[in-house]
Amino acid sequence: MVKYPARFIVALVLLAVLSFGPGAVAGTELIGGVSRDEALRLGEGMYRDGILPSGKPMQAVVKGDIPVESRFTCANCHQRSGFGSMEGTIKTAPIDGTRLYAPVAKFRRMPLRGARQQDASPDQLLRPAYTDETLAFAMRTGIDPGGRQMNTVMPVYDLSDRDMAILVFYLKNLSVGTEPGVTDREIRFATIVSDDVAPADREAMLGSLAQFIEKWRVPKNVERMVRAQTYLQEGAARETRTPVLALWELKGPAEGWGAQLDAYYRKEPVFALLGGITGSTWTPIHRFCEEHRIPAIYPVTDHPVISETDWYTLYLSKGLQQEGEAAARYLHGRGDLAPDATILQIHRGDPSGLALARSFGEQWISLGHRPPEVLVLGPSEKLSEARKGTAGKTGPLVLLLWTAGKDIPSLSTDAAGIKPEMIFLSSSLAGERLYDLAEALRPRAFITYPLALPRAQPGSKVSPARSRQEDIRERMFALFQTINYPLSQLRTFVYRDYFLELIEKSADITETTVSPRLSFGTGQRYASKGCYIVQLSSGPTPTLVKQSEWMHF
């Protein structure tokens, strides 16, 4: 073995540092002077938010010389997934790493792979595969590797070499690789149940999910045929991957759920969460999904996280917030409220009552009214204690009773003592006890109803009462309607952001009992966006009488 002098070895090391940069010596590739992970983070900020690594907005022009603001981002047109979009007559091409770095045939207009990529001649190509250099050139000039001028609505960017290197690296890795929970054979999901959920509610949700998973499975003989005929070309997620559903059970107080979820996910990564139910908050699970970028579809909760920026949880609605807002809008719109009327909200300090009171109050004030009165009762206090909130008031009283259904039977006696002109109740809180409301109070009682109105069959009367378990099963059926088509369209590109984008673009769903219409749009995360105000009819088997049209928020 030849022994070199120490000074010679030092010289070689210095040469390596000067030639390849410090990252080469340490075995760590640097992109624009930062680590790969940091480059991906900074590139995401450029792609999604139009913000340079320096924190300044990106500078771009369209149609040759028209400046555009930084909020005109790559993701606006190409989507978070990079899989493109169609706006009117303008088709935005995919720019995910897989398709950017593959040539596109003229007639197929899709990436060529494997042997077909090697055998393609230049005259057969719409464009060659991008390289890092030609991608940077295209973003600066609007000219693709084939020499074609792109549509002039495509911005061209004034980026430094460092910033361009970071953005190119991000695009090269956008929607590339395999998502957690996805293999050639399986696509794994999970659902969540906390230990404070009633057994009947738990079974209603798990049984419905099990039926969907079983229905979604394809017989083995069909699976083999589909694999042989289509999978090697483009594939089809629904036909070739077996869905598997795991149960993640959460125990103890909500403060400890985050650690339990992390442990489940490390042991058994999943593509998405389906449904899920807790007896209290959903917030720790929402935060977990945002952190790990896991889609969660229609958790059963009356307390969704209300956010205009979070992405990964799709809620059936805004929950109790919609009912409080609906009551405020309806009361404001009647136009017959006396100026000296007292608006009194009563609740027992629980999360549900607080949510309704807060949402009503905020909406009421935004409509130009003075803040409503609020009375918080203890767990065992009677509703007649509401007299405390009416002492010294001489005008008419509007009572908003945001308490559970157990208070309904005593309402006729207690309300008689305070004589409200109008009473508002939440159908979500009252549940089946709503139909115990005394007949004498029904003309004065107005009920927030965030569901599709029940349809009576001709010649028969149908009670509008629906049990908690029936409601859960209906929610799960709405989940299946929402995700069935998007899952079938994933094909080869099984990515979480793309899955959510497909849901956003899906047709509205109107055949459901949970809402007159379920719909999403770009960035929308609440499918049902409204509420009815109803009353109960007279008689021993009351039905719902609509007092407002669907109030769309």
Q: Do residues 190 and 139 both lie within one domain?
A: no
Q: Do residues 403 and 544 both lie within one domain?
A: yes
Position 69 scores a pLDDT of 64
pLDDT band at 121 (very low <50, low <70, confident <90, very high): low
pLDDT of 161 over the 90 cut: yes
pLDDT of 6 over the 60 cut: no
Position 405 scores a pLDDT of 87
In a domain, residue 309? The reply is: yes
> By the 8 A CB rule, do 81 and 490 touch?
no
Q: Do residues 266 and 404 both lie within one domain?
A: no
In a domain, residue 52? The reply is: yes
68 or 292, greater pLDDT: 292
In a domain, residue 435? The reply is: yes
456 or 274, greater pLDDT: 274
Q: What is the dihedral of CA 402, 406, 407, 409, to 10 degrees?
A: 140
Q: Do residues 65 and 100 both lie within one domain?
A: yes
In a domain, residue 177? The reply is: no
pLDDT of 548 over the 50 cut: yes
Q: Do residues 235 and 90 both lie within one domain?
A: no
Please state the separation of Cα 66 from the chain's center in Å. Answer: 34
Percentage of the residues of the chain whose pLDDT score is greater than 90: 58
Position 461 scores a pLDDT of 42
> By the 8 A CB rule, do 369 and 332 touch?
yes
Angle at 194 between CA 188 and CA 200, to 5 degrees: 95
Angle at 459 between CA 453 and CA 462, to 5 degrees: 40
Position 22 scores a pLDDT of 35
> By the 8 A CB rule, do 139 and 150 touch?
no
pLDDT band at 198 (very low <50, low <70, confident <90, very high): very high
Q: Which of 121, 139, 172 is the last residue of a domain?
A: 172
pLDDT of 553 over the 70 cut: yes
Position 317 scores a pLDDT of 95
Position 337 scores a pLDDT of 87
Position 236 scores a pLDDT of 43
Q: How far is CA 549 from CA 76, 314, 329, 450, 552, in A?
A: 34, 25, 12, 11, 9
Residue 15: Cβ within 10 Å count = 10
Average pLDDT over residues 378-391: 77
pLDDT in tens, 249-265: 999 999 999 999 999 99
pLDDT in tens, 407-464: 888 887 766 567 788 999 999 999 888 888 999 899 999 999 999 988 754 433 444 5
Q: Do residues 38 and 23 both lie within one domain?
A: no
DSSP3 helix / strand / coil % (the chain, rounded to 5): 40, 20, 40
pLDDT in tens, 488-500: 888 788 999 999 9
Closest CA to 346 of 310, 387, 316, 307: 387
315 or 240, greater pLDDT: 315
> By the 8 A CB rule, do 131 and 159 touch?
no
pLDDT of 335 over the 90 cut: no
Position 237 scores a pLDDT of 43
Q: Can you spell out the DSSP letters for 403-446? A: --GGGSTTHHHHHHHH--SEEEEEHHHHGGGGGGS-GGGGGGEE
pLDDT in tens, 275-317: 999 998 999 999 999 999 999 999 999 899 999 899 999 999 9
Q: Do residues 111 and 216 both lie within one domain?
A: no
Half-sphere exposure of 380 (CA within 13 A, CB side): 0
Task: Indicate the DSSP class of residue 526.
Answer: B
Q: Which of 137, 172, 207 is the last residue of a domain?
A: 172
Torsion sign across C-alpha atoms 27, 29, 30, 36: negative
Number of domains in the chain: 4
Q: Do residues 334 and 310 both lie within one domain?
A: no
Tell me the residue ranges of DSSP E strands in 49-169. Answer: 60-62, 66-68, 85-87, 90-92, 104-105, 125-127, 156-157
In a domain, residue 292? The reply is: yes
pLDDT of 93 over the 80 cut: yes
pLDDT in tens, 23-66: 333 446 789 899 999 999 999 999 999 999 999 999 888 877 77
> Over the range 132-142, which residues count as b (16 or more CB within 10 Å of their CB) and which as e?
eebbbbbbeeb
Position 233 scores a pLDDT of 42
> For residue 147, what are the contacts with CB-CB under 8 A and spacing of at least 6?
none
Q: Do residues 209 and 159 both lie within one domain?
A: no
pLDDT of 222 over the 70 cut: no
In a domain, residue 460? The reply is: no
pLDDT band at 10 (very low <50, low <70, confident <90, very high): very low
pLDDT band at 391 (very low <50, low <70, confident <90, very high): low
In a domain, residue 237? The reply is: yes
CATH number of the domain enclosing 341? 3.40.50.2300
Position 392 scores a pLDDT of 67
pLDDT of 231 over the 50 cut: no
Position 21 scores a pLDDT of 35
Q: Do residues 44 and 166 both lie within one domain?
A: yes
Question: Domain range holding 96?
Answer: 32-172
Q: Do residues 366 and 244 both lie within one domain?
A: no
pLDDT of 230 over the 60 cut: no
Q: Do residues 406 and 538 both lie within one domain?
A: yes
pLDDT band at 336 (very low <50, low <70, confident <90, very high): confident
Q: What is the mean pLDDT of the chain?
A: 84
Average pLDDT over residues 531-550: 93
Interatomic CA distance for residues 150 and 119, integer angstroms: 26
Average pLDDT over residues 174-190: 93
> By the 8 A CB rule, do 340 and 394 touch?
yes
pLDDT in tens, 503-513: 999 999 997 88
Q: Which of 150, 172, 194 is the last residue of a domain?
A: 172
In a domain, residue 213? The reply is: yes
Torsion sign across C-alpha atoms 505, 508, 513, 516: positive
Run of H or E including 253: none
Closest CA to 314 of 506, 174, 179: 506
Average pLDDT over residues 126-150: 92
